[in-house]
Structure 1
């Protein structure tokens, strides 16, 4: 499984991106990046602040969106709402997203209050990606989340539907008026019109993709998909799986072929990377290569390959990917354990070299 450009020195003599526009299907509409906000457990502020600095730098590069992924019980962003509240104050244009927020850990009522607040403070810049399902290690953590009600939780799509209804202004209390000196309303506050139209679902199967489409949501696909059974896989099988999901999603969506699909991928352009940085990137991809050759577990969990190399080579790989040709938005997923200098270089080459070859133009 090739996950880097073979041979040569990919960081030498990068050529202008505008000379190498490739036929990659849909024109790339939006460019984003995703940070996990990795930090040292003894010094979390440094890593989290570095993550916020990436939002500032990405906005200056013209990126359209910055995304986070929730990391519970890990040394990463465990509270996207708090992190993106801070990011909202350090940016002015870029959208602020989650890819994804697992709702099994969340109370839809409080979630609607929190994200309504962030959306208001950011002037409508939230792009909220969600998923459902039982939290990992729920037998151990369930009582810490829900106490005696842990065995009565519903982790189905109904959790998303409840959140959407609250964001859209569902009446939750019959009482509206003044009690003493306090004024009450029957809806979750603050209401932020339009937020419900900026909710995405993290799909991993045709069934979940079809459901997301039927709800009129956006669809997020990542470097994980499901084959349905264990066994050998290759890049073509992974792409075919995601293309099936995209087709199911758009067939069920009111917007049809115009329904938005965003793809998250570990894509590391090396055009201006130093020799040392290229070595780090290639070692990282090599350490993960074996897992991309087989579907894991009873559901056949598949992992997409990482793409490490010059932008022109990466675009060629994307052009050969049937699913990638149907994607509107690309989210560059930054690996967990690189430094801010490496992240900055990846973002810079992504905006200046890679994305223009996919038809993208910066917003600044």
Structure 2
């Protein structure tokens, strides 16, 4: 059995072929798609976060709205760029959104991905300290945020407060018990997966990874997941970790599917440079008739290692078509793989 959800990048464009022509369109349709996915029996509604782009950005208003409109589906991100975040304010927002969702938040966080602007986090008021890199900045913010989620007091109370205080040091409110166990680190390398395991965070693997061996993406990610699980075991954490992988998978069951994605039948992994220096491998699209997909996906080693699969959806094609993409996998593919 696997949990199966969707991951939306939340694009919008003024193209006449786009069903999402404004930020309002994307936000409202994201809520509608989460509701539709829940009704179809999907397990998760996840959203990307990209700043300075015509894509979803500030996640917590959306997560709270989805939480209020749904009742069972997990709600998350993939991923929040921690270089841009105030950890204390984020802990407040995350606690509130999780309480609205009644404990269904699954927050994916990370260093982030390629930038629309140069060092965009500086415009948000954050910069690496002396001797730090932007990677260090992300990890510093992460460590503060993750520690705050323990719910322990740290702030000295005012002796003459506006409202009565509980005894002792004060914590960030609202606090949502259990949220700390539902934080995921989006990892693009073996080393960061091992670091996340040491921290006690769950693991998110996307369709992009540092090319560390020259093997296909799914093989490299399977090795990454196994290294993560071993590091988790060595760290001595008490609970079982969760691992997700993202894939672009399209079951070709009608003419519309074949028109949109039939050309991806021959898709393969591609290799390129990220930030002009990091050799990366980007995963193939899976697009085929359901019986062929079952055979292809059964050979994806990373999916086999993970407990959660996130289907990337073409959000600009609208809620109805994206719901169809999800339903096609749940109905025509998942049973053949023993996922349902």
- TM-score, length basis structure 2: 0.86
Comparing 322-331 with 86-95, greater Cα deviation is found at: 322-331
Aligned length: 322
Query: Counterpart in 1 of 2:73?
Result: 94
Alignment partners' CA distance in 2, 1:64 and 1:96: 9
Counterpart Cα distance in 2 of 1:356 and 1:270: 16
CA shift at 1:187, angstroms? 0.5
Deviates more, 1:99-108 or 1:164-173: 164-173
Q: Paired residue for 2:4?
A: 31
Higher relative CO (Cα under 8 Å, sequence separation at least 6) belongs to 1
- 1:122 equivalent to 2:95? Answer no
Cα deviation per residue 1:97-135 (whole Å; 9 max; x = unaligned)? 111111111111111000000011111010011102687
Which residue in 1 is equivalent to 2:195? Answer: 211
**Corresponding residue of 1:198:** 182
199, 207, 210: which is aligned to 1:226?
A: 210
1:173 alignment partner, one of 155, 163, 166: 155
The offset of 1:156, in angstroms, is: 4.2
| Aligned twin of 2:18 | none
- The equivalent position to 1:280 in structure 2, one of 254, 260, 270, is 260
TM-score, normalised relative to structure 1 = 0.80
1:240 paired residue number: 219
Secondary structure of the equivalent of 1:157?
Answer: helix
* Cα distance in 1 between the residues matched to 2:191 and 2:106: 22
| 1:261 aligned partner | 243
Q: How many angstroms apart in 1 are the aligned matches of 2:329 and 2:182? A: 24
Alignment of structure 1 residues 60-209 onto 2, 5 Å:
60-132=39-111, 136=115, 139=118, 141-146=120-125, 150-152=127-129, 154-175=136-157, 178-181=160-163, 183=165, 186-209=170-193
Say if 1:124 and 1:257 are closer, same or farther in 2 by CA, change over 3 A. closer
Structure 1 gap segments, 5+ residues each: 1-27
Comparing 300-309 and 74-83, the one that deviates more: 74-83
SS in 2 for 1:253: helix
How far is the alpha carbon of 1:356 from its aligned partner? 2.0
